[in-house]
A and B are shown apart, each in its own frame.
Chain A
Amino acid sequence: MKLQKINKIIIIFFALNLVFGLDWSGYFSTDHRFLIKEYAPLSFEEYRLTLNPQQSIYDNIKFSSEIWLRSSGLPEIENLDDLFTKDRITPFEIDIREAYIDILKFPVENIDMRIGRQRIAWGTADKINPTDNLNPLDLEDIWDFGRHLGSNGIKIEGYIKDFNLSYIFIPRFTPALLPQNALYTNYSNITLPPGINPAQITNSISMPDYNIKNSIQGLRVKKNLFNFDFSMSYVYGRDGIPILKNTTIIPVDMLGNVNIYNELAFPKMQIFGMDFAGAIGDIGIWAEGALFLPESIHYEIDLSQLGMGVLDSLILDKKPYAKFVLGSDYTFKNGIYINLQYVHGFFQERGKEIEDYILLGLEWKLFEDKLKLMPLAGGFEIKDFSDFKNNYAFVYAPEISYKPVENCELILGARVIDGKEITNFGRLKQNDEFVLKARYSF
């Protein structure tokens, strides 16, 4: 069934290619990760063909797309029947990340429109962007910071004097894609009364209705001031990572076993953002911040069937909270590039959960850019400055990249994680791994 769908999509693009003569570019990439443990178990595998077809239909109309054809994840073969299903043996999927039409200078000279599935990347910081909230997060690969899914919508950009105004309308809310191993989100750790044991846990999602009221909208104004690029933005939307709203506990026997039914919801959010980028002397600097105004969410635990009534608590306060990034970069005369960012609030954090991070990258290109060394790369997490010793973690992620020929890159890297397990990075400390990647662009 899935293969039939893929075949249909391939046929559609083949037909488009014949009719419009699409200009194809893209790359083929492989990504293997092995845990640094006995026998080096494979922790991640991806073979991906990224295609970027483009075509100018008229002078002011252009079609663009990004398609992933990929084999991702490890085969899930459990029984004999699985051997009769190709998808089980060699998992394969097609993912249309973007497909849109640009209509330039329409309906008037100083307005451009983009219609279709698109990525709207707001913010000036490097990969961690608090103001980048229109597209849902794609946390499938937790190490690919800043990855988002495309959204079906309309972007209208206006250019009035030195101002650039953007308005985005996304009719339908799409939740974030969460990591499979639930490292960021664990909804199963409810504290139950003594003697009560969970037999089965069901997490159901309460999706917002598909109507205009639940659409995502954004507005941004950009301008250059005093040689700095400034922008201010506003987003009316939702948090794409769900939050627990209700839990109902139903007894299943007289031994204290219960079934737990969780209901999760996506809190509404209003987000005011601001960023700037520029230079002081010859050092690049940027700052980006967002103020999040969530709706308050009350969490109800229905224990009435256990004769304990209903407990109500405030799980998300409507009190505003802020995330921000301060960053700087510099290239030395010998070609060494250094990038440093202070991050207050990672992607998935909200309200009181917000932590602080210092991210560093040092890159050195050698031999006509054939060899790229990243001996210092990674991040430091501080969960609580007042009790630093028990609230820190770090990730050290050095990398070597080599280009044997034009358009081809081979990467060898590692990730070494340590710290306290109550931190986000610290929870991953058993996942030290080394990484082998290859990429060929065409």
Chain B
Amino acid sequence: MKKYIKITSIFFVLLAATQTIAAEESLNANGVLKKVDEVLMAPKDLSALMKINIINKNGDVKNREVQMYQKGDNKRLVKVLAPADQKGIGFLSLPDDVIYVYLPAYKKTRRIAAHVKNQKFVGTDFTYEDLEAKKYSEKWQPEGLKNDGVFYLLELSPKPGHISEYARVNLYVRKDDYFPVKSEFFNKKGEMIKKMEILKTEIIKGYIIPKNYLMQDIRSGNRTEMVMEEIKVDTGLKDDIFTERNLAQ
């Protein structure tokens, strides 16, 4: 009987210890994700000219050029400068999952429904969802945290109410500065469908700014390279840039 009590006690102690470790890990995962948000959203505002190359599996290249403005952690405006047949298309991301698109051919601004968010933005491998200005911690729940010495690996799943094309995202975060250098995107079947790497960062006014992106579509074999040029931070961008009024101009 004593032996039985002893074993039971050990079991409960171990169980409690496991739960404590899990809670700490969970806490750490949340903490790491919050740090990631702080690093990514550190500049008060940012503007850049983005030069984009879309490369298909045969090596054919298409070019895009867009101007991007961002303010705080939830406002982003993107305007297409090239190619000619898409020039003038605008994309405005606002808080609470609100996205507006301006289509010059129709002279109309339209709020887009969630089904459009998983569509490619002007033919790139980035979807509207990928380009939204967002805090990870507001939309994604870290399910686990791994530590390989150089990176934290966060496994993220959508928070309840967040509609996403992705069922899971693996985020590789540099341990030294909490900068996420790689993301892997998975569908509901658990298959990796896309992979994004930040190949180069730059320190501007003390902020870590991603300079070169590479987004790979695993299924199609296509990839999109994006280079940020003419980067300006903390220039005091006004709120009225991030309005429907400005989107249509």
- Chain A interfacial positions (CB closer than 8 Å to B): 25, 27, 62, 102, 104, 112, 119, 121, 124, 157, 159, 164, 227, 229, 277-279, 281-285, 329-331, 333, 335, 368-369, 406-407, 409, 439, 441-442
Q: Roughly how many angstroms separate A284 CA and B96 CA in the complex, as a whole number? A: 17
Q: Report B-chain residues with C-beta under 8 Å of the C-beta of A409.
A: 85
Give B60's nearest chain A residue, CB to CB.
A368
Q: Report A-chain residues with C-beta under 8 Å of the C-beta of B120.
A: 369
Query: Given that A121-B106, A441-B83 are known contacts, is A277 also in contact with B111, CB under 8 Å in the complex?
Result: yes
Q: Report B-chain residues with C-beta under 8 Å of the C-beta of A283.
A: 113, 115
Question: Do A164 and B244 touch across chains, with their CB atoms under 8 A apart?
Answer: yes
Q: Report A-chain residues with C-beta under 8 Å of the C-beta of B62.
A: 368, 406
A381: min CB distance to chain B, Å:
24
Q: Report A-chain residues with C-beta under 8 Å of the C-beta of B222.
A: 368
Interface size, chain B (Cβ < 8 Å): 33
Can you name 19 A-B pairs with beta carbons within 8 Å?
A27-B85, A104-B249, A124-B110, A157-B245, A229-B111, A281-B163, A282-B115, A282-B117, A282-B163, A283-B113, A284-B116, A329-B115, A331-B115, A333-B118, A335-B119, A368-B220, A369-B123, A409-B85, A442-B84
Question: Do B116 and A331 touch across chains, with their CB atoms under 8 A apart?
Answer: yes
Question: Do A277 and B107 touch across chains, with their CB atoms under 8 A apart?
Answer: no
* B56 contacts the other chain (CB 8 A): yes
B51: min CB distance to chain A, Å:
15
Q: Report A-chain residues with C-beta under 8 Å of the C-beta of B96.
A: 227
Question: Do A281 and B114 touch across chains, with their CB atoms under 8 A apart?
Answer: yes
Q: Roughly how many angstroms separate A229 CA and B110 CA in the complex, as a whole number? A: 9
Q: Report A-chain residues with C-beta under 8 Å of the C-beta of B245.
A: 112, 157, 159, 164
B54, B56, B63, B87: the one within 8 Å of A25 (CB) = B87
Q: Report B-chain residues with C-beta under 8 Å of the C-beta of A406.
A: 62-63, 83, 85
Q: Roughly how many angstroms separate A31 CA and B245 CA in the complex, as a whole number? A: 35
Q: Roughly how many angstroms separate A284 CA and B87 CA in the complex, as a whole number? A: 25
Q: Roughly how many angstroms separate A356 CA and B49 CA in the complex, as a whole number? A: 48
Q: Roughly how many angstroms separate A284 CA and B165 CA in the complex, as a whole number? A: 16
Question: Do A282 and B113 touch across chains, with their CB atoms under 8 A apart?
Answer: yes
B54, B56, B85, B113: the one within 8 Å of A279 (CB) = B113
Nearest 9 CB-CB pairs, A to B? A282-B114, A279-B113, A284-B113, A441-B85, A441-B84, A331-B115, A282-B115, A121-B107, A407-B85
Question: Do A331 and B119 touch across chains, with their CB atoms under 8 A apart?
Answer: yes
Q: Roughly how many angstroms separate A281 CA and B114 CA in the complex, as a whole number? A: 7
Q: Report A-chain residues with C-beta under 8 Å of the C-beta of B220.
A: 368
Mask, B193-221, CB within 8 Å of A = 1, is: 00000000000000000000000000010
* B112 contacts the other chain (CB 8 A): yes
Question: Do B84 and A284 touch across chains, with their CB atoms under 8 A apart?
Answer: no
Question: Do A368 and B123 touch across chains, with their CB atoms under 8 A apart?
Answer: yes
A411: min CB distance to chain B, Å:
13
Give B188's nearest chain A residue, CB to CB.
A333
| Contacting residues of chain B (98-147) with chain A, CB-CB under 8 angstroms | 98, 106-108, 110-120, 123
Q: Roughly how many angstroms separate A285 CA and B107 CA in the complex, as a whole number? A: 19
Question: Do B244 and A119 touch across chains, with their CB atoms under 8 A apart?
Answer: no
Give A120's nearest chain B residue, CB to CB.
B107
B80: min CB distance to chain A, Å:
12
